[in-house]
Amino acid sequence: MNSCCIVSSRLFRPLIALGLATGLTAAVAQEDLPELVVTATRVPIPPEQSGSAITVITADQLEQRQIRSIADALRDAPGVTVSRSGNFGALTEIYLRGAETNQTLVLIDGVEVNNPDGGPFDFNNLLDLEVERLEVLRGPQSVLWGSSAIGGVVNIVTKSAERPLQGSVRLEGGSFNTWQTSGGIGGRGERYDAMLSGAWLRTDGWSAGSEWRGNREDDGARIGALLFKGSLRPRDDLELTLIERYTDNRSEFDAFFGGDQRPVVDSGDRIHNRQNLLRLQGKLSLLGGAWEHLLGIARYDIDSEIDSDTLDPFSSDSYSNQIDYQSNYFLNAAGAKHTFTVLVKDKKDEAQNSYFATNAVRNTGVAFQYGLDLDERLFLTAGLRHDFNDRFDDTNTYRLTAAYLWPDIGGRLHASYGTAVKNPTLTELFGFSGDFQGNPNLQPEESRGFDIGWEQTLFDRRVKLDVTAFDNRIDNIIVGAGRTVINLPGESRARGIEVSASAELTPEWSGTLAYTYTDTEDAEGQELRRRPRHAASLSLNYRPTDPLNLNLTVRHNGSFVDTAFDSNTFETYPVRLDGFTVVNLAANYQLDDRWQLFGRVENLLDERYEEVLGYSGTERGIYLGARYRF
What pLDDT, in 10s, does the model give residues 81-104?
A: 999 999 888 999 999 999 999 999
**pLDDT class for 15, splitting at 50, 70, 90?**
very low
**What would the mean pLDDT of 184-205 be, rounded to a whole number?**
96
Domains, the chain = 36-629 (2.40.170.20)
Residues near 473 by beta carbon (within 8 Å), at least 6 away in sequence: 447, 448, 449, 491, 492, 493
pLDDT, mean over the chain: 91
Determine the pLDDT at residue 434.
62
pLDDT tens figures, 198-256: 999 999 999 999 999 989 899 999 999 999 999 999 999 999 999 999 999 999 998 88
Largest CA distance in the chain: 71
Is pLDDT larger for residue 571 or for residue 263?
263
* Residue 108: pLDDT band with limits 50, 70, 90: very high
Kindly report, residue by residue over 334-344, the tens digit of the pLDDT.
Answer: 999 999 999 99
How many H helices and E strands in the chain?
5, 33
Is residue 12 scored above 80 in pLDDT? no
Give the per-residue pLDDT at 152: 97
With a cut of 90, say whether residue 11 has pLDDT above it: no
Residue type, 192: Y
Residue 122 has pLDDT above 90, yes or no: yes
d(CA 187, CA 195): 7
Which residues face 462 on adjacent strands? none
Write a three-state SS string for 20-59: HHHHHHHHCCCCCCCCCECCCCCCCECHHHCCCCEEEEEH
* 576-606 per-position pLDDT tens digit: 999 999 999 999 999 999 999 999 999 999 9
- pLDDT level of residue 125 (50, 70, 90 thresholds): confident
Q: 60: left (phi > 0), else alpha (psi -120 to 50), else beta?
A: alpha
Specify the pTM. Answer: 0.92
What's the number of CA atoms in the CB half-sphere (13 Å) around residue 630? 3
